[in-house]
Amino acid sequence: MEATQVTGRQFSLFQASLLIALVLTTGFLAEVEAQNLYASTRATFIKKDATLFAIERIAGSDLNEIGALLIGGATTVTARGMAMDPVDGSMYLSIHGDPEWQLCTVDLDTAETTVVGSFASHMFRDLTFDSTGQLYGVTGGDGVDFDSLFKIDKTSGVTTFVAALSGYSSHGIAFDPSQPDLLFHFAIADPGQLVFETIDLETNVLTLISLEGDLVVDRPGGLVWDPISSVFRFVDSFDDTYYSLTRDGVLSEIGAISGSYHGLAFDQTTTSLEVIFYDGFGSGGPSAWSDSTPQRGETIRR
């Protein structure tokens, strides 16, 4: 299935006309889904602050540099974990400011951050939300309680230990909505080795998943579930490479990316153009178009 990116806020009249003609003449059921993917970065020699980008979902290429992720106007070093709250659509980040790691929300149009609370000695490598709006974080190999899973109070940043995880240092966590009681975890194990596992959040039981495919990954991070393609996506921040990973453990290298991405997160998915199937033989017709308009970064499935 091919996908075409829409980078503007709205379809042109020409594009909309083409879709209408396709439905009326071929009986094709068209569907447009709003799905914007965002990435956070670390500071580099070129960019002195962590930065927020909108990126292309399939290839991982930059669509738009939104802005520097500053805390109170002050420089930030790295924005690692990134996750969207499914309850209200707020985007959260784990940001290394001066001198400690903090939980922040971010305005996706301006990159302006608001501090929620301090993580103190915890360095969270990745963040994710479950379907109820509970925030989780995984720590790296530094600080206290390293390589561990925590619940995080999204209103204060207060953390509660859940379980120690396999692997060390570089971690990514994400939920597959079809299995809401299982949290997927991908990390470096021994040097040159990877670990992919689930943790049952009711029992804390870890279950390993065998990996196959492109297994040369040095520093994974930013694991996120892509609800359109039904795969996980993540970045290797060591050599700036973009990957996909199936829930069954098939790992595929997609290609090089331009940014030093550390966090990835999708915003909310909405169906913004609805077309009722028309059989092309005069027995019915399209009922209506929705009032909503496609947003930046949407994917037209065809």
- Percentage, residues of the chain above pLDDT 90: 41
Q: Is the pLDDT of residue 103 over 90?
A: yes
- Please write the tens of the pLDDT for every residue from 38-92: 988 876 645 667 889 898 888 888 788 899 888 877 767 778 889 999 999 999 9
Q: What pLDDT, on a 0 to 100 scale, did the predictor assign at position 44?
A: 62
- Confidence bin at 215 (pLDDT 50/70/90): confident
- What does the CA dihedral 53, 54, 56, 61 come to, rounded to 10 degrees? -20
Contact (CB, 8 A) for 44 and 260: yes
Q: How far is CA 221 from CA 24, 26, 30, 47, 241, in A?
A: 45, 43, 34, 20, 11
Identify the sign of the CA torsion 20, 23, 24, 26.
positive
Q: Is the pLDDT of residue 8 over 80?
A: no
Domain boundaries, the chain: 1-35+270-302, 37-268
Q: What pLDDT, on a 0 to 100 scale, did the predictor assign at position 225?
A: 95
CA-CA distance, 69 to 79, in Å (whole number)? 8
Nearest CA among 87, 121, 120 for reference residue 105: 87
Please give the average per-residue pLDDT across 229-243, as a whole number. 90
The CATH code belonging to domain 37-268 is 2.120.10.30
Q: What pLDDT, on a 0 to 100 scale, did the predictor assign at position 134?
A: 97
Most confident option among 29-33, 59-63, 275-279, 280-284:
59-63
Give the residue, 218 or 24, on which the prediction is more confident: 218
Please give the average per-residue pLDDT across 225-246, as a whole number. 91
Q: Is the pLDDT of residue 243 over 60?
A: yes
CA-CA distance, 131 to 17, in Å (whole number)? 37
Q: Which two tokens stand for residue 197?
A: 């596992």
- Confidence bin at 157 (pLDDT 50/70/90): very high
Least confident residue range of 103-107, 120-124, 291-295: 291-295
Please give the average per-residue pLDDT across 270-283, as a whole number. 35
Peptide bond into 294 cis (omega under 30): no
**Mean pLDDT, the chain, whole residue set:** 77
- Please write the tens of the pLDDT for every residue from 173-190: 999 999 999 999 999 887
Q: What pLDDT, on a 0 to 100 scale, did the predictor assign at position 299?
A: 36
Give the residue, 291 or 62, on which the prediction is more confident: 62
| Whole-structure pTM value | 0.77
Q: Is the pLDDT of residue 281 over 80?
A: no
- Look at phi and psi of residue 73 and say left if phi exceeds 0, alpha if psi is from -120 to 50, else beta: left
Q: What pLDDT, on a 0 to 100 scale, did the predictor assign at position 218?
A: 85
